[in-house]
Structure 1
Amino acid sequence: MQRHVSDPYVQRAVAGGLRSRAAFKLQELQSKHRLLRPGARVVDLGAAPGGWSVVAAGIIGEKGQLVAVDLLPMDPLSGNSLVIQGDFTHEQVQVQVRGALRGGAADVVLSDMAPNFCGDKETDHLRCISLCEEALSFALRSLRPGGMFCCKLLKGREEGSLRSAAAEHFESAKFIKPRASRDSSAELYLLATGLRSPRQ
C-alpha cells in the first residue's frame, strides 16, 4: 500500500485527474509508436477503471469510436464511447462488442486485461497468456487489414509462443516495457502492427 501511495506515477495520476497510473503506459506507447489516430475505432479490453480509455478517447476525438469492456462496472466516458460490462471471454460479449463497431471493424484493439493473481509466478503467467490469446483471437476477427493489437502479459516461458502467434498475422510483433511499468514487475506489452489481409 505504501509503495502504491508513494509511486510517482500514482501521484501524477491523482494530480492530473486520471483514473489510474496505467494511463501513463498508454501515453508512452502512443508517443513512441502512434497506436491511435484521430477518428480511429478502438476496442479497450479490461478497461476498468478507465485509465487507458480516457487517454484513447482524448486522442481519437469526437469522430472516433471507443468500445470499452470489463467485468467490473466503470464510469461512463465522454464523447463517442460505449462501456460494456461483461466477461470478455464469453462469445456473446465479443459479438456485442463487434456489433457496436461502426463498419464492423476496429483500427486498434487494446488489452490491459489481467487475471485474478494467485501469487504463483508460473500460474499467473499462464493465466495472463490465456487472456492474451483470447484477445489476439478477437483482434484477428475484429481488426481491419493494417490494424494494430496491443496486450499486457507477464514474462514467462510462453511469451515467445504468443509473439510467434501474433507474427503469423501481423507485419511486426515485438515486446515493449514502458517506463511507467514498475522495474520490479514482470509486466510486458506485446505490440503487433500491420494486420495482414487474409489473402497474404
Structure 2
Amino acid sequence: MKVQTKSKKVNKAWLHDHLTDPYVKMAQREGYRARAAYKLKEIDEALHLIKPGQLVVDLGATPGAWSQYLRRKFAPKDAGAGGAAVGELNGTIIALDILDFEPIEGVRFIQGDFREDAVLAELDAAVGGRPVDVVVSDMAPNLSGIESSDSARIAHLVELAVEFGLRHLKPEGALVCKVFHGSGYSQLVKLFKDSFRVVKPIKPKASRDRSAETFLVGIGLKPNRKRVEENWPSA
C-alpha cells in the first residue's frame, strides 16, 4: 500500500512538472509534437548546422518533433506557422525509428531497428549515395536500470550513429548525438574526437535538469575517417 501511494505521488509530481513545463507549453503553442524540438533548435542556433537545401537524416525520430523543426527550417518563410510546415520544401529529410511515426509532409520515414543490418541497408538505399549534410540522433535504448548493461546499449547506438556518419557525411558534415553522463561517457567523447575535427558537448536548456542526457556534436570528418573500434563496457 505504501508503494502504491508513493507511486501515485511520483506520477502526480511528474504530471505537475509536465503541465507546468514552459517548453511543453511552448511546444503546444507552436505546434510541435514534443518539447524535444527545442533541444535541436538550441543546438542549431548555437552552431548553425541546419540550412535550406541540405540532406538530413533524423535517427530515433518518433514522435517527430526534430523532423518538424527540420521541416520548418527547409520551408519557405511564407509557408506560415503552426504544426509542420506544408507545401514546398527546400531540402531532404529521411527519418527512422523503431516506433510508429505520424506522417509529416515531405519527410520520408523508415520504420525499423537501427541496429539491424536490413534496416541499415534500407536507410543506405534511401540516402542513395548522396552525401549527407547532417545526421541528428535522439536515439536511446530501453534502460534496465543496470548501469553496465545500459551503458553498453547506449554506447552501441552511438557507435552505430558515428559509423553511419563516417560512411555518409560530407567531409564538412555534422553529427548530433544524444548521450548520457555516466559509465562509458568518456569513451564516447574519445570516439567523437577520433572521428571529427571539432567536438562540442552541449546540454540544452530544454533538457530537464535532473536528466543525465547531453548531446555530442561532431563537425568535419577527420581526414583518415577510419572506423574507430572501442572496447565498450560489456553487458
The answer to which of 165-174 and 185-194 deviates more is: 165-174
Deviation string, structure 1 residues 150-194 (Cα, Å, up to 9, x no partner): 100110131111111121221111211000001111011000001
Gaps of 5+ in 2: 1-13, 76-88, 227-235
Does residue 1:58 correspond to 2:58, yes or no? no
Distance (Å, rounded) in 2 between the aligned partners of 1:11 and 1:121: 33
Distance (Å, rounded) in 2 between the aligned partners of 1:122 and 1:35: 33
Q: TM-score, normalised by structure 1?
A: 0.92
Q: Percent identity?
A: 41
State whether residues 98 and 105 of structure 1, in contact with CA within 8 Å, keep that contact through their aligned partners in structure 2: no
Which AA in structure 1 matches 2:201? F
Tell me what 2:145 maps to: 119
Tell me what 2:9 maps to: none
Which AA in structure 1 matches 2:111? Q
Does residue 1:86 correspond to 2:120, yes or no? no
State whether residues 49 and 74 of structure 1, in contact with CA within 8 Å, keep that contact through their aligned partners in structure 2: yes
Tell me what 2:201 maps to: 175
Which AA in structure 2 matches 1:151? C
Tell me what 1:100 maps to: 126
Q: TM-score, normalised by structure 2?
A: 0.79
Closer, same or farther in 2 for the Cα pair 1:199/1:12, shift >3 Å?
A: closer
Distance (Å, rounded) in 2 between the aligned partners of 1:14 and 1:122: 37
Q: 1:68 aligns with which of 95, 103, 123?
A: 95
Q: 2:60 aligns with which of 46, 64, 70?
A: 46
Distance (Å, rounded) in 2 between the aligned partners of 1:124 and 1:9: 28
Closer, same or farther in 2 for the Cα pair 1:124/1:47, shift >3 Å?
A: same
Distance (Å, rounded) in 1 between the aligned partners of 2:142 and 2:53: 34
How many equivalent pairs are there? 199
Closer, same or farther in 2 for the Cα pair 1:199/1:141, shift >3 Å?
A: closer
State whether residues 163 and 174 of structure 1, in contact with CA within 8 Å, keep that contact through their aligned partners in structure 2: no
The answer to which of 57-66 and 109-118 deviates more is: 57-66
SS at 2:96 equivalent? strand
